């Protein structure tokens, strides 16, 4: 006997499709029931979390091991161009269980290598700090690339002007302070990665117009570090 079936497929917006098979009248008289087949839906995984700040500098990522960083080469774009040497703490501040190292880092942004301080807890990179010295072009390009991907960040400008006034009526102003832009990426309930770009300058008024000007000093730098969220913060989050 020739059996003819009509297939109705019902698809719901939740992604579940039900295929319902109905026999023709002859078949119905024999089976007297509908045959229904459920198709298990393929669930689409939730979209991945969108980062709100960098998690490293080029291929050097927070969480990498010392060996992995040392093995980076010119082909990777960013790499260490000198061996790591133990960082010397000149003003205290050493943290128990954290090892810091000095090195030189080379980037595609400049042929000039810059000083970098890398901190490890165990064998895991937890922070890096690169000094661009006074090279504005590299600092500005780095900041522009971060802002293009993650937005302008939170800016804190604490620069202040000081007026230098002299008895002969001469006067001019000098500026001191820093402009800091910060990006924070909450990577988990337990930790976040904070990126800070700092442009710091210092000026002083000379004691007299005949004195040699002290001149402006300063440094431009970027720091990227992993920070453990406080237990109190975790308690507050758990309430919601």
Residues 101 and 201 placed together within one structural domain of the fold: yes
Distances (CA, A) of 24 to 1, 5, 18, 36, 169: 12, 6, 19, 15, 107
Higher pLDDT, 93 or 168: 168
Q: What confidence score (pLDDT) does residue 216 get?
A: 80
pLDDT digits (tens, 9 = 90+) for 103-112: 999 999 999 9
The token duo for 195 is: 């990126």
**H-type helices in 52-133, by residue range?**
66-70
For the ranges 70-74, 151-155, 188-192, 230-234, the lowest mean pLDDT is seen at 230-234
Number of domains in the chain: 2
Residues 148 and 199 placed together within one structural domain of the fold: yes
Any domain includes 88: yes
Q: What confidence score (pLDDT) does residue 214 get?
A: 62
Confidence bin at 212 (pLDDT 50/70/90):
low
Confidence bin at 237 (pLDDT 50/70/90):
low
Higher pLDDT, 197 or 240: 197
Any domain includes 46: no
Q: Over range 74-90, report the average pLDDT.
A: 94
Confidence bin at 19 (pLDDT 50/70/90):
very low
Average pLDDT, the chain: 81
- The parent domain of residue 176 ranges over 56-229
Residues 82 and 14 placed together within one structural domain of the fold: no
Residues 193 and 221 placed together within one structural domain of the fold: yes
Any domain includes 18: yes
């Amino acid at each position: 006997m020739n059996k003819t079936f009509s297939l109705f497929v019902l698809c719901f917006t939740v992604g579940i499709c039900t295929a319902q098979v109905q026999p023709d009248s002859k078949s119905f008289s024999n089976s007297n029931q509908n045959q229904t087949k459920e198709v298990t839906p393929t669930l689409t995984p939730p979209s991945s979390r969108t980062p709100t700040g960098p998690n490293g500098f080029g291929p050097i990522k927070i969480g990498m091991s010392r060996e992995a960083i040392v093995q980076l080469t010119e082909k990777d774009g960013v790499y260490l161009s000198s061996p790591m040497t133990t960082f010397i703490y000149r003003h205290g501040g050493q943290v128990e269980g954290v090892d810091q190292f000095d090195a030189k880092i080379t980037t595609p942004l400049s042929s000039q290598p810059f000083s970098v301080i890398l901190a490890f807890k165990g064998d895991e990179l937890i922070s890096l700090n690169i000094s661009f010295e006074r090279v504005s072009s590299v600092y500005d390009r780095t900041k522009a690339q971060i802002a293009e991907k993650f937005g302008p960040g939170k800016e804190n400008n604490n620069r202040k002007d000081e007026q230098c006034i002299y008895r002969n009526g001469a006067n001019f102003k000098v500026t001191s302070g820093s402009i800091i832009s910060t990006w924070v990426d909450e990577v988990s309930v337990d930790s976040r990665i904070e990126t800070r770009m700092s442009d710091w300058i210092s000026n002083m008024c000379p004691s007299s117009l005949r004195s040699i000007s002290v001149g402006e000093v300063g440094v431009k730098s970027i720091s990227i570090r992993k920070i453990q969220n406080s237990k109190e913060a975790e308690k507050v989050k758990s309430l919601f």
